[in-house]
Amino acid sequence: MQPDRRTLAPGLEISRILTGLWQVADQEKDGTLLDRGAAAKALAEYAIDGFNTFDMADHYGSAELITGEMLRQWPGIARPLAFTKWCPPPGPMTAEIVRAGVQERLDRLGVDRVDLLQFHWWSFEHPAWLDALHEMKALRDEGLIGQIGVTNFDAAHLHLALADGIPLVSNQVSFSLIDRRAAGPLARVCAQHGVQLLAYGTLCGGFLSDRWLGQKDPGSMGDWSRSKYLRFINAAGGWDGFQAILRAADIIARKHGVSLSNVATRWVLEHAHVAGTIIGARLGENQHRAANLKLFQFALDAEDHALLQTAFDQTVPIPGDCGDEYRQPPFLTASGDLSHHLNEMPKAHEATPDPVVPDRARVFTGSKWEPIAGYCRAIRDGNRIMVSGTTATHGVDHTVAPGDAAAQTTYILDKIAAAVRALGGKPSDILRTRMYLQGMEDVEPASLSHGRFFADFPPANTTFLAGSLIGNFRIEIEAEAVLPR
Ligand SMILES: NC(=O)c1ccc[n+]([C@@H]2O[C@H](COP(=O)([O-])OP(=O)(O)OC[C@H]3O[C@@H](n4cnc5c(N)ncnc54)[C@H](OP(=O)(O)O)[C@@H]3O)[C@@H](O)[C@H]2O)c1
C-alpha cells in the first residue's frame, strides 16, 4: 500500500502525504551537517514507499543538498518530486535577483527544473513581491520552474496574485485541529481559482499524538518545531483546550482503530481544497511511514465532526489569517518574536524632508503621474499625514489586477500603509479613508477588502460612486492619518 495521490497541476501528481524537511535544519542546528549519503538513503526509502514528494526550502539546512544527492542516485525513471521554497529578504526583485535565487535552487538540487517553487514574502507593504512572482512566471515559461506556489499567503494576497495573472497552483500554510484558519476565507479563494493547499503543522510537531494525551504542559520545548506549535497551542487558548481536542481525537481514533495522529491528519486532508499534508521527518530517527498510511483506510463521519466541534468550542481561533504569524504579533514561529527582524527589513519607500518647512516630509512611490501631475503619494505635516487618492498602479504604470475591485483594494491599502509607515506612522494611525468606486458591483468586494484590512482599527470612511475612473481601475482610495502625540 502507498499514500493516495492528487493532481496538483497538469502533469504534477503528488503523494498526499508529503515529506517535510524543515526538521533537517533542526537536526543540524549545532552546525554539524547530517551525513549526506546516509540522509539521502533515508529519503530514498521514503520515496520507494510512495512518500515521494519532498518539501524543503532554501533555509532548511542541507535539505536541498541531501535531496539532490538522493535524486542523483535515484535509479528509476519517475524520479521523486522536489518542492522547495525561495524566501528572499524584501528589497528590489529585479530579473537578475530572481534568476539568481532560482538558479541557486537548481544548483543545490542538481536539477534543470524545480518541480514546484514556493515563494515566501515577509511584508506585503513592500510591493516587490509582485515583481518577484512575475519574474518567476517568466522563468516558468523558460522551463526553469515546473509550477509556482506560494507559502504563508493570506486569502487577500493569494487572490491578488492570481487576479494579477500569476499562475499559482498551491499555497503552503499551517492547518491543523489547533489552527483552523485555512478553512476560512482562504478556502473560498481556493475554490474560486482552483488553487490547492499544502498543509503543514497538521501534527503540531508531534503534539497531536497519543504521546501528549493527559500530559502536563511542558512549558517549553528544545526542538524548533514543537517550540513553534506550543505557541500555537497557547494562542488557541492554552493547554486545557488542546487536551480537549486530544481527548476528542482519541475517542474518534479508537472508534476507527487508528491513531490519534491519523485522526488529526485525516481532518485536514478531508478539506476539499487540501491537496496534501506535509509531515515532518527527522531523518535517521523516527519514520512513522506505516502508521501514516492508515490515514487512507478510514473517513471521518458526522458524529466525529460533531465531537471535534465540541472540543473546538473549548479553544479560541488563532488570530488573523494564514501567514499572519510571520508578519505581525503574535509571532507564532520557532523563535517567537520576529519584530526586530521585520524592523530591519528595508522600507518600501523613503521619506523626503521638505527643504524649507521643518517637520514636513513627502513620500513618492514612483508612479509616472507623480511628477507629471505634481503631487506626492503622501505628505506629513507635523503629526498629520495625508495620502493622495491611490490606485492599484504598480511601479511606473502597471495596473494591478485589472477590473478586480477586491484585489485592487488590497493592493492600494498595502501601498497606503507603506506610505504612512515611511512617514513614521503605522496603519492603525489611519483615521479616515475615502473610497471612490467605479460601479455598484465594486461596493461589496471593495468593502470586504477594506473591512479585512481595518478589522482591528476601523477609520471613519466615506464611499463615493465615482463612475469615471480612468483605465481598468475599479477603485481609488485616499486616507488621512494622525500620529499619536
Ligand atoms: N512554509 C512554512 O512556513 C512551514 C513551516 C513549518 C513547516 N513547514 C513544512 O512542514 C513540514 C512539517 O513540519 P512541522 O514542523 O509542521 O511538523 P509536523 O509535521 O506537524 O510534525 C512532525 C512530527 O510529528 C511526529 N509524527 C509524524 N507522524 C506521526 C505519527 N503517525 N504518529 C505520531 N507522531 C508522528 C514526528 O515526531 P517525532 O519525530 O518526535 O516522532 C514528526 O517529527 C516541515 O518539514 C516543512 O517541510 C513549512
CA distance 201 to 176: 6
> 170 CB under 6 A from ligand 1?
no
> 67 CB under 6 A from ligand 1?
no
Q: Per-residue pLDDT for the chain (485 aa), expressed as one digit of tens each?
A: 999 999 999 999 999 999 999 999 999 999 999 999 999 999 999 999 999 999 999 999 999 999 999 999 988 778 999 999 999 988 899 999 999 999 999 999 999 999 999 999 999 999 999 999 999 999 999 999 999 999 999 999 999 999 999 999 999 999 999 999 999 999 999 999 999 999 999 999 999 999 999 999 999 898 999 999 999 999 999 999 999 999 999 999 999 999 999 999 999 999 999 999 999 999 999 899 999 999 999 999 999 999 999 999 999 999 999 999 998 888 888 877 776 666 777 888 899 999 999 999 999 988 788 899 999 999 999 999 999 999 999 988 899 999 999 999 999 999 999 999 999 999 999 999 999 999 999 999 999 999 999 999 999 999 999 888 888 899 999 999 999 98
Query: Which residue, by CA, sits nearest to atom 13 of ligand 1?
Result: 280
> 288 CB under 6 A from ligand 1?
yes
Q: Where in the chain is the domain with CATH 3.30.1330.40?
A: 347-482
Q: Note whether 419 and 349 are within 8 A (CB).
A: yes
> 94 CB under 6 A from ligand 1?
no
Model pLDDT, residue 340: 66
Superfamily of domain 347-482: RutC-like (3.30.1330.40)
> 149 CB under 6 A from ligand 1?
no
CA distance 267 to 399: 40
CA distance 106 to 437: 45
Query: Which residue, by CA, sits nearest to atom 34 of ligand 1?
Result: 206
Question: Cell numbers 497557547 correspond to what residue?
Answer: 234
> 205 CB under 6 A from ligand 1?
yes
Nearest alpha carbon to residue 133 among 178, 163, 173: 163
> 208 CB under 6 A from ligand 1?
no
Q: Does the pTM exceed 0.85?
A: yes
> 258 CB under 6 A from ligand 1?
no
Q: Which helix (H) or strand (E) holds 17?
A: strand 17-20
Helix segments in 318-404, DSSP class H:
339-343, 369-373
Most informative mutation of 286, 326, 338 for ligand 1 (most atoms within 8 A of CB): 286
CA distance 104 to 98: 10
> 19 CB under 6 A from ligand 1?
no
281 CA from centroid of ligand 1 (Å): 6
Q: Work out which ligand 1 atom sits closest to the CA atom of 260.
A: 32
All residues at 6 or more sequence positions from 289 whose CB lies less than 8 Å from its CB, including other chains: 46, 49, 51
Query: Which residue, by CA, sits nearest to atom 47 of ligand 1?
Result: 20
Superfamily of domain 5-339: NADP-dependent oxidoreductase domain (3.20.20.100)
Model pLDDT, residue 207: 98
Q: Note whether 105 and 114 are within 8 A (CB).
A: yes
Q: Where in the chain is the domain with CATH 3.20.20.100?
A: 5-339
Q: Is 445 left (phi over 0), alpha (psi -120 to 50) or beta?
A: alpha
